[in-house]
A and B are shown apart, each in its own frame.
Chain A
Amino acid sequence: MRRWFVLLLAGLALACGAAKASPAPSAASDHPTSITRDGVKLTFAQEARAEAIGNKLRCLVCQNETVENSRAGLAKQFRTIIRHRVAAGDSNRQIIAFMVKRYGIYVLLKPPFRPETWLLWLSPGIAALIGLAVLLFARRRRRATPPPLSPEETDRLKELLS
């Protein structure tokens, strides 16, 4: 029984290896060099760039999805605009600036460090500093030794312990 199982596994492994090794059909039509998405035809490299840009932008309709992932109509329009601009040769920076000009930095999923966002960026550090201050304060108070007992207190202590 066990030997059969081992044999079966070995056969499977061999079959998989053979499938991998077998040469893929080499006709040119089976190796597309471009892809059409959201109505724009791009090379793979351009499409990858368009996707990278779309993944940095917020879909303003659903707000927690990227432009690339969202099914909203506006996100689809954004993707088309991004792809047209990629095809036209705009840089990533230019395309993102186009969106920020219209929708503000809210359209960026990763907000830049700016006067209105410094609190957002620095809040973890500020929270850590507050925590550290509380910790130091608590430790300093705990370390303070109590004043020595007065003669009356010493007597009372003795009385209680006896």
Chain B
Amino acid sequence: MSLSRRMLFGLPLLVVGVGGAGFYELLRRMQTGSYNPQAFNNPLVGHDVPDFTLPGVDGREGFDKKLLAAQTRPVLVNFFASWCVPCAGEAPYLDRLAKSGVDIWGIAYQDKPEAIGLYLAKYGNPYARLATDPSGRTAINWGVYGVPESFLIAPGGKVVWHVAAPLVPEVIDDQLRPVLRRLA
């Protein structure tokens, strides 16, 4: 068989092989949660958090940009909602993360105080601080398009990492932990 003839047979096989391997990897990552085909790069990463002031829940203090930027340790800001099913899914991992010493601040997105209270009582409260964004306008300013979304804020107020997916162990270990180690 001549070289060109061999190529004629080999090329489609190669395309099928490489394509198949690519698809397999894609589906595997989708299953483990480290790849989200609907995700896009949030332009906020690498920039300071936008101005915001959000009230707390049940008369407690909320937080604002100034307080967030004044922290000396990185803060994981987690947008969640009591009506959001994947949020309940990530709740145990958030709890574990908080217990391991990561500061997590929660922003309840388009939610009601009673519902937030019930949700936290049921799934645990990993939040060192809790604010609420009933209109969702702060979330839009952060480029949030659906809960749960999490942002890691470095001391000084710069967004260093973002994920628009539940914080499952694979995402925490492969993405969040390395960034936290770099900041430490």
A interface vs B, CB < 8 Å?
A: 60-61, 63, 73-74, 77-78, 81, 100-104, 106
Contact = CB atoms under 8 A, between A and B. Distances in A.
Contacts of B31: none
B53 interface: no
Contacts of A73: 110, 136
A74 B146 contact: yes
B9 interface: no
Interface residues of B, number: 15
A74 B144 CA distance: 10
A104 B40 contact: yes
Interface of A is mostly: helix
B43 interface: yes
Contacts of B42: 103-104
A100 B141 CA distance: 11
B38 interface: yes
Contact of A103 (B38, B110, B143): B143
A61 B110 contact: no
B146 A102 contact: no
Query: What does DSSP make chain B's interface, helix, strand, loop or mixed?
Result: loop
B146 A60 contact: yes
B48 to A, nearest CB: 13
5 contacts: A60-B145, A73-B110, A77-B140, A106-B40, A106-B41
B142 interface: yes
Interface in B36-68: 38, 40-44
B27 to A, nearest CB: 19
A14 to B, nearest CB: 56
B38 A63 contact: yes
Given A74-B140, A103-B42, 7 more contacts: A60-B145, A61-B145, A61-B146, A63-B38, A74-B146, A81-B140, A104-B41
A101 B38 contact: no
Interface string B134-158: 0011001111011000000000000
B41 A74 contact: no
Given A63-B38, A73-B110, A103 B136 contact: no
Contacts of B110: 73
Interface in B125-184: 136-137, 140-143, 145-146
A60 B143 CA distance: 10
Contacts of B40: 60, 103-104, 106
A102 B143 contact: yes
Given A63-B38, A77-B140, A104 B146 contact: no
